[in-house]
Structure 1
């Protein structure tokens, strides 16, 4: 039976919609039946935005991560920057604050003070510094939480994992190897079994080139790397199929026949995923020694401060973290 969990939340970029969403979600008191939420952020900043939006969310400041209020939004207070923060404007101050929140939440996760982590969106440009040079959440968490991370987009309709995630398109072919592809396929299969309780996962693998290379006419990777790996794993008893030409695969709704799809690069997987599920999907980082999810959207600077942010993806990220946590515990895979 699923119970209540201590859910850590990193606040994301304070000039975006992250804090608005966090505060708005916990206006719904029913969520406290499922979560003891713990957000890592300056209390003063949360209180400012609470007043700006006119929310009634109860905040409970905690000095230690040992005793949490069970029916309020717990805040592990952080220093408030002296510089002004402004909705909708990327800034280094906001970026640094979002990373401080992420680091504090990750530390709590590693210590076991929280059970799982949901990360609000950050700005990949403003987070860069001499002390943080990761492309985003996933790469940082893979280092901190020790695992072979797999970016897995999740919805009720479709699950899409990526062989390469935040990588320039020109570099994808050079990164694609037999070993990496096999690692990603087996990682996806393992996640489906342990995290989603799929007993016998059926996985579709997309090709890299248009028309999956057309027998070598449009690139060699599909025939020389992808097909041999898929065939070898299939011969060993894995239900893995492909490579499929991505356009025809999604155009024919073939994804409905599989438990998950493995795409070769970011846009190949996320364009169909967001087209079909935008606003409801969740980004789950599989393969780590802890559970982390995030919404499928960014900082949305263009609507920050207006009070119009949609909470559904973030809410789904919370409930997915809870579900995966309990599935992992049942399988003893944490």
Structure 2
């Protein structure tokens, strides 16, 4: 198993006009971070030298043109482009979106080739990244295509973990997307992630209802009774500790969430509003269900404060630590699975 200090953390730089570059470089101003990992930022040394100078940051950058040149105890910058980039903090710029995707694609390629161990992604602008060759609503959908597995947006912070049945889906289409197969797939992904990524041997999972008050016996929609409850019953019969559906409006306010290892929400805002209310600034977006580890902070590009030196590094730092921890947990789980402890019969 790799030691933490040798873990190569790849970082895609995200939207250069947002707070991502500021946050990334601020984190590695603290040289103690290099005791935990070897960072490789996918951008260009020219671009990040400009960011460093603009924010007056004290961080030594090591520009490389080959990933094999990455050095331990250095903040490595892999040159994905060589030309100068016109950065205008706080501006939505199509050209900047192209650089964000170039960084993401290079980092993903390195992840697939085991040239980095984990990927931490800085925020992108979902509007300016769209093109004829990149038509994804965000990181998760792209990585689901590029990596093996079945991705699930899993928001994590200490003991609070919130997964989603549907993520970037318009509210009017949510119920159309929720099928028995989807419910089974997502719950299995959360269950397996809790075991291998978080070392929870017997996970307890709560599922939130689709409609207000879980439909009130069909008065406010029939999806909970016709789709969700039968699916959960079937999953319970397989031996998994899955409970619900619970009415979402009171679930977090009553502290019921503390009784479970994970909560699965039916749609984006149902899960992310309470999650961010409880953990904003320290939460991490983890893409569970893939054969590689990817995390990101729980915030966006934050154009409104970009260039002002006000960005908080807390969530991004937690995303780095979470990626390292999950990577190690997975390796440990794989080792145990290969070499299980011998079963010893109790003598009578």
Structure 1's 76 and 82: CA in aligned 2 closer, same or farther, altered over 3 A? closer
Q: Distance in 2 between matches of 1:118 and 1:83?
A: 22
What is the CA-CA distance between 1:232 and the residue it aligns to? 1.6
Structure 2 match to 1:107: 109
Structure 2 match to 1:239: 241
Instruction: Provide Cα deviations, 1:157-204, integer angstroms capped at 9, x if missing partner.
Output: 410000000010111100110011011111100000010000000000
Structure 2 match to 1:128: 130
Contact 1:81 1:93 in 2 (8 A): no
What is the CA-CA distance between 1:79 and the residue it aligns to? 1.9
What is the CA-CA distance between 1:82 and the residue it aligns to? 5.3
What is the CA-CA distance between 1:229 and the residue it aligns to? 1.2
Structure 2 match to 1:167: 169
Structure 2 match to 1:296: 298
Structure 2 match to 1:214: 216
* Matched positions, count: 334
Structure 1 match to 2:180: 178
Unaligned runs of at least 5 residues, structure 2: 339-348
What is the CA-CA distance between 1:262 and the residue it aligns to? 0.2
What is the CA-CA distance between 1:264 and the residue it aligns to? 0.5
Contact 1:178 1:225 in 2 (8 A): yes
TM-score (norm 2): 0.94
Secondary structure of the residue aligned to 1:212 is helix
Structure 1 match to 2:346: none
Structure 2 match to 1:57: 59
What is the CA-CA distance between 1:324 and the residue it aligns to? 0.5
Structure 1's 78 and 194: CA in aligned 2 closer, same or farther, altered over 3 A? same
Structure 1's 157 and 194: CA in aligned 2 closer, same or farther, altered over 3 A? closer
Of the candidates 95, 116, 119, which is equivalent to residue 117 of structure 1?
119
What is the CA-CA distance between 1:238 and the residue it aligns to? 0.8
Secondary structure of the residue aligned to 1:301 is coil
Q: Distance in 1 between matches of 2:86 and 2:24?
A: 21
Q: Distance in 2 between matches of 1:291 and 1:79?
A: 25
Of the candidates 85, 88, 102, which is equivalent to residue 86 of structure 1?
88
Secondary structure of the residue aligned to 1:251 is coil
Contact 2:46 2:84 in 1 (8 A): no
Secondary structure of the residue aligned to 1:302 is coil
What is the CA-CA distance between 1:3 and the residue it aligns to? 2.2
Contact 1:135 1:166 in 2 (8 A): yes
Contact 1:157 1:277 in 2 (8 A): no
What is the CA-CA distance between 1:146 and the residue it aligns to? 2.0
Q: Distance in 2 between matches of 1:110 and 1:265?
A: 29
Give the alignment's Cα RMSD to 1 decimal.
1.3
What is the CA-CA distance between 1:6 and the residue it aligns to? 0.5
Secondary structure of the residue aligned to 1:243 is strand
What is the CA-CA distance between 1:67 and the residue it aligns to? 3.0
Contact 2:15 2:125 in 1 (8 A): yes
Are positions 1:150 and 2:152 aligned together?
yes
Contact 2:26 2:313 in 1 (8 A): yes
Of the candidates 295, 302, 305, which is equivalent to residue 307 of structure 2?
305
TM-score (norm 1): 0.98
Contact 1:291 1:324 in 2 (8 A): yes
Q: Distance in 2 between matches of 1:209 and 1:13?
A: 36
Unaligned runs of at least 5 residues, structure 1: none
What is the CA-CA distance between 1:230 and the residue it aligns to? 1.1
